[in-house]
């Protein structure tokens, strides 16, 4: 909806975003979704004030329904990093979920995002950390963070809402990418995935004032370079 509003504004549309949404509802073009009600969490996420201050990282399964080729029972995974300030993302599609793939992902992350990262936030999955009740030994992922001088924050166990930005982006991926396609080969899936991941950073977001993640990053560094 934010991207639609941005395109309309560029074409000369003068009404507000709320007015556009009301007109769409009157035309009944958008179906209302029924949401389950849950008790509200009291957790308040601190607001990031510059790119790289906090980057959320998570891993999701690629849905089997979109795989139309012989995978020989292999699973595919999407590693996602999203900057809290700009909502800029970097994604990779991998065939293994382990601290090896996540640590290798880290090596490319700052270059792909285009700025230095101060802190990375993850859940307590085995692809990131060890169970502290079992061992205090650091994983390959944690050692790579130390090597890159990036601080690491583990969210509270069983509290995925603390990583809510990356969790929501995964739901968007399911809606806009995975549920709309069925791939005939891994090469085709990877090609479409790269095209989709590049486009994501050029889509306007309401939370960004109808700017794109790339525009927010560019504007921040332009202002601070002056």
Sketch out the chain's domains with CATH numbers: 1-32 (no CATH), 47-225 (3.30.420.10)
Residue 12 is predicted with a pLDDT of 87
Give residue 39's pLDDT.
58
Q: What is the pLDDT of residues 134-190, one digit of tens each?
A: 888 999 999 999 999 999 999 988 888 889 999 999 999 999 999 989 999 989 999
Q: Per DSSP, what are the bridge partners of residue 78?
A: 60, 93
In angstroms, rounded to a whole number, what is the distance separating the alpha carbons of residues 58 and 100? 14
Say what the pLDDT of residue 226 is. 60
The residues near 161 (Cβ < 8 Å, ≥ 6 apart) are 41, 43, 167
Q: Tell me, what's the pLDDT at 112?
A: 96
């Amino acid at each position: 909806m934010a991207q639609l509003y941005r395109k309309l504004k560029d074409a000369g549309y003068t009404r507000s975003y709320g007015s556009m949404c009301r007109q769409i509802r009157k035309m009944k073009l958008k179906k209302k979704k029924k949401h389950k009600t849950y008790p509200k969490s009291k957790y308040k996420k601190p607001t990031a004030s510059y790119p790289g201050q906090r980057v959320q990282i998570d891993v999701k399964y690629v849905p089997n329904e979109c795989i139309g080729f012989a995978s020989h029972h292999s699973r595919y995974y999407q590693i996602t990093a999203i900057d809290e300030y700009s909502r800029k993302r970097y994604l990779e599609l991998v065939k293994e979920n382990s601290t090896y793939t996540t640590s290798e992902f880290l090596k490319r992350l700052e270059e792909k995002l285009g700025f230095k990262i101060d802190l990375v936030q993850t859940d307590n999955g085995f692809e990131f950390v060890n169970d502290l009740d079992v061992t205090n030994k650091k994983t390959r992922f944690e050692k790579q963070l130390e090597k890159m001088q990036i601080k690491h924050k583990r969210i509270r166990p069983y509290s995925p809402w603390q990583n809510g930005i990356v969790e929501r982006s995964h739901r968007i991926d399911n809606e806009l990418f995975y549920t709309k396609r069925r791939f005939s080969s891994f090469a085709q899936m990877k090609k479409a995935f790269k095209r989709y991941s590049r486009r994501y950073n050029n889509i306007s977001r309401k939370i960004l004032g109808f700017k794109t993640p790339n525009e927010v990053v560019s504007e921040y560094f332009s202002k601070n370079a002056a």
